[in-house]
Amino acid sequence: MNNQHPTPNNQRRIEISQVVVTAQQMREVEARIFAAGIPVAALMEKVAGLIARRILDMYLNPGQEDNRWGGGELGTPTTDREWGLGAMGRWGDQPRFYSRPRVGILVGPGHNGGDALVVARELYFRGYAVFIYSPFAKLKELTSQHLQYAQSLGIPCYQSIEDLPECDLLVDGLFGFGLERELQDPIASAINQLNHKSVPIISIDMPSGLHTDTGKVLGTAIRASHTFCLGLWKLGLLQDQALEYVGKAELIDFDIPLADVEAVLGETPRIKRVTKNSVFSTLPLPRPAVTHKYKEGHLLLICGSRRYAGGAILTGLGARASGVGMLSIAVPESLKPILVSHLPEALIVGCPETQTGAIAQLQLPENTDLNSFDAIACGPGLTKDASPIVQQVLESTIPLVLDADGLNILANPPLSKGGMKGGIRQALTVLTPHTGEFQRLFPDLPDAKHNRIEAVREAAAQSGAVVLLKGARTVIANSEGAVWIVPESTPALARGGSGDVLTGLMGGLIAQAVTHQIAAEDMVAAAAWWHAQAGILAAQERTELGVDAFTLTQYLNLVLNHTDFDSL
Ligand SMILES: NC(=O)C1=CN([C@@H]2O[C@H](COP(=O)(O)OP(=O)(O)OC[C@H]3O[C@@H](n4cnc5c(N)ncnc54)[C@H](O)[C@@H]3O)[C@@H](O)[C@H]2O)[C@H](O)CC1
Ligand SMILES: [K+]
């Protein structure tokens, strides 16, 4: 395998939507911007103006039919009639008809509150009924000025949540990346009350109450229907434990100079979001006009057993979807007919089997060396009786994806206890555990449930492998400490067989990368992102209950044509 790889993606100039920052890093980036001369107030106006525009587009968009005010979900005020039916409504009263959508603005003590107050002012001037809830006596100077101006306009401001009138939409400007400690009453109970209302809440920067870095709930947190993350993606928004609070996350790009980002994070930030652009810049697409099947990669799949034939088929279908030129699939002899019937284009290698129907020995076609393939993917459906096979592929010198029983066999003994006999492989090795397999492989690593990123990074360093930890937000790390996070997925993929499809897809992409002289390591994130997007599209079209693994393989080739999907 030629080791002179082109610049791998993680060495190329980064795009803003790939950057992921901690609160401290965001502070350092903002400090550079302010030091360069932009007034804090000017940036707040710019940022909050962008937020207000998105809120108007999304929630208050004129011209849509389905509303009582002639506008979008809440519409624009059709008239500037006085309030209908007398006094302001209160939480819990019977809803009273008002002539204008009511927007509640939750204002915290810091600049997150300042952002929200600028939004309040902008919506007010567009004729919306705006109400402010701000329980804090001490506000930052700029925030205090904005509050003073809002009140001078006659916008009602309430200290207690009970006084806030019933609203159609809430804007959460309580806390952003400045949240430092657990929330206490009255703010905590106010948030709990707001969460119990069936009113959409838009959070500015972070849902208030979530830790900016870990996504942990500090006491309680706003359950946002939409989170507008400001400038650079915050790490906490990408953590599994935050997901039920974040709602739909969207980046509000306020033109942070890339130079400032690189000054703080370096040219290749350690943690990156996997985006459509970053994936498309690495996939073996478009294909050369002149090519042939052996130039499009040759993948060897080693999978299946008499007990688990389906895993072999699904892995093969995932590999097929990758576009790999040649596909060989080693299975127990008794599975050969069914594999041929599902994958007529593949070379099915029937192997001698154990009493239990596992692969007893890799019997490749004569004169075929294991290292003559471009890549191997091994594990789905193997059962633990195939451990000699896994040992054999570990000794190969070509890129290897290990999944499912390949990982369970590897975990005996665990990697941290001298596992992976023969030490760290020189060739690319990708481990693709789910949480349970991860804990078996790395029993003494920090609990992957609470800090997945640190756990995966440590596992990659320990094993020398690229480790992909599956989850609502799949996390990938290599042994140099680079981390990729797949920012979107769907619970529709939480089904048997989804992982088998990913293994085949990833193996097929890696095999093509090898023949195309593309950085094979980049195919791990590309495969995970592609797999998730196919699941999302399938769920959109067939509901979250309609994405069985076979259907998923059909959507793998459809989703790349849907270039209109969000550029993540
Ligand atoms: N810096 C800027 O000009 C811009 C900031 N952006 C927005 O502002 C926030 C960050 O602002 P900051 O004032 O640093 O923090 P917060 O608004 O999040 O306020 C936190 C505030 O509250 C205090 N605090 C922290 N924890 C608690 C707690 N548990 N209970 C009570 N009070 C707490 C703390 O002392 C802070 O003062 C950022 O998210 C953006 O929304 C602009 O968008 C860009 C310009
Ligand atoms: K917020």
Is 113 a domain residue?
yes
Instruction: Extract the tokens encoding 357.
Output: 């129907």
Residue nearest to atom 21 of ligand 1 (CA): 110
Whether residues 347 and 327 share a domain: the answer is: yes
> What pLDDT score does 87 carry?
30
- 183 CB under 6 A from ligand 1? yes
Amino acid at 127: G
Instruction: Extract the tokens encoding 430.
Output: 């990708």
> What pLDDT score does 72 carry?
42
Whether residues 404 and 529 share a domain: the answer is: yes
Backbone φ and ψ of 481, nearest 5°:
95, 0
The CATH number of residue 534's host domain is 3.40.1190.20
Whether residues 349 and 219 share a domain: the answer is: no
Per-residue model confidence as pLDDT tens digits over 321-368 = 999 999 999 999 999 999 999 999 999 999 999 999 999 999 998 889
Per-residue model confidence as pLDDT tens digits over 108-117 = 999 999 999 9
CB 291 within 8 A of CB 360: no
Whether residues 343 and 380 share a domain: the answer is: yes
Among the candidates 246, 268, 290, a domain finishes at 268
Whether residues 258 and 360 share a domain: the answer is: no
> What pLDDT score does 92 carry?
39
Whether residues 400 and 473 share a domain: the answer is: yes
Q: Which residue ranges of the chain lie beneath pLDDT 70?
A: 1-12, 61-99, 415-423, 563-568
SS3 for 303? Answer: coil
- 26 CB under 6 A from ligand 1? no
The CATH number of residue 98's host domain is 3.40.50.10260
What order of strands is seen across the sheet that includes strand 157-158?
Answer: 157-158, 129-133, 102-107, 169-173, 201-204, 226-230, 248-252
Whole-number Å distance between alpha carbons of 461 and 471: 20
Q: How wide is the angle at C-alpha 84 spanned by C-alphas 81 and 86, nearest 5°?
A: 120
Whether residues 322 and 379 share a domain: the answer is: yes
Which secondary-structure segment (H or E) carries 204? Answer: strand 201-204
CB 339 within 8 A of CB 346: yes
SS3 for 229? Answer: strand
Whether residues 44 and 113 share a domain: the answer is: yes
Whether residues 333 and 217 share a domain: the answer is: no
Whose tokens are 């709930």? That residue is 217
CB 166 within 8 A of CB 90: yes
Residue nearest to atom 33 of ligand 1 (CA): 179
Among the candidates 268, 303, 330, a domain finishes at 268
Is 465 a domain residue?
yes
Instruction: Extract the tokens encoding 190.
Output: 């106010």
Is 95 a domain residue?
yes
Neighbours of 260 (CB within 10 A): 18
Is 37 a domain residue?
yes
- Give, to the nearest 10 degrees, the angle between helix 309-322 and helix 549-559: 0
Domain assignment of residue 232, given as a range: 20-268
CA distances from 500 to 121, 315, 320, 375, 401 (A): 52, 5, 12, 16, 11
Q: Ligand 1: which atom is nearest the Cα of residue 47?
A: 43
CA distances from 304 to 388, 395, 407 (A): 15, 20, 14
Q: Which ligand is nearest to the CA of 40?
A: 1
Is 545 a domain residue?
yes
Per the structure, the count of domains in the chain is: 2
Neighbours of 553 (CB within 10 A): 25
> What pLDDT score does 383 carry?
95
Whole-number Å distance between alpha carbons of 160 and 136: 10
Whose tokens are 């004729």? That residue is 127
Using most ligand atoms within 8 A of CB, pick from 179, 210, 255 the residue to mutate for ligand 1: 179
- 175 CB under 6 A from ligand 1? yes
In terms of C-beta distances under 8 Å and separation of at least 24 residues, what long-range contacts does 343-346 make, across chains too? 343/313, 343/316, 343/317, 345/320, 346/316, 346/319, 346/320
Neighbours of 6 (CB within 10 A): 11
Whole-number Å distance between alpha carbons of 65 and 519: 50
Using most ligand atoms within 8 A of CB, pick from 40, 171, 175, 232 the residue to mutate for ligand 1: 175
- 208 CB under 6 A from ligand 1? no
Is 257 a domain residue?
yes
> What pLDDT score does 117 carry?
98
Q: Is residue 464 a known part of a binding site?
A: no
Instruction: Extract the tokens encoding 280.
Output: 């498309």
Whether residues 248 and 380 share a domain: the answer is: no
> What pLDDT score does 71 carry?
38
Phi-psi map region of 482: left, alpha, beta (phi>0 left; psi -120 to 50 alpha): beta
Whether residues 195 and 324 share a domain: the answer is: no
> What pLDDT score does 74 carry?
56
- Count, in order, helices (H) and strands (E) of the chain: 17, 19
ipTM: 0.93
Q: Is residue 396 a known part of a binding site?
A: no
Is 9 a domain residue?
no
Whole-number Å distance between alpha carbons of 246 and 208: 10
Whether residues 426 and 374 share a domain: the answer is: yes
CA neighbor of 123 nearest in space, from 154, 102, 137: 102
Residue nearest to atom 9 of ligand 1 (CA): 112
Is 417 a domain residue?
yes
Among the candidates 245, 268, 291, a domain finishes at 268
Amino acid at 542: R
Q: 254 C-alpha to center of ligand 2: Å?
A: 17
Residue 56, Cβ density class (10 Å: 0-12 exposed, 13-18 middle, ≥19 buried): buried
Query: On the CB side of 512, how many CA atoms lie within 13 Å of its CA?
Result: 30
CA 183 and chain centroid, separation: 27
- 112 CB under 6 A from ligand 1? yes
Amino acid at 156: P
Number of residues that this document lists for the chain: 568
CB 554 within 8 A of CB 534: no
- 69 CB under 6 A from ligand 1? no
Instruction: Extract the tokens encoding 506.
Output: 């990833």
Instruction: Extract the tokens encoding 200.
Output: 């959409």
> What pLDDT score does 407 carry?
96
Whole-number Å distance between alpha carbons of 495 and 473: 16
Q: 52 C-alpha to center of ligand 2: Å?
A: 14
SS3 for 118? Answer: helix
CA neighbor of 267 nearest in space, from 491, 40, 482: 482
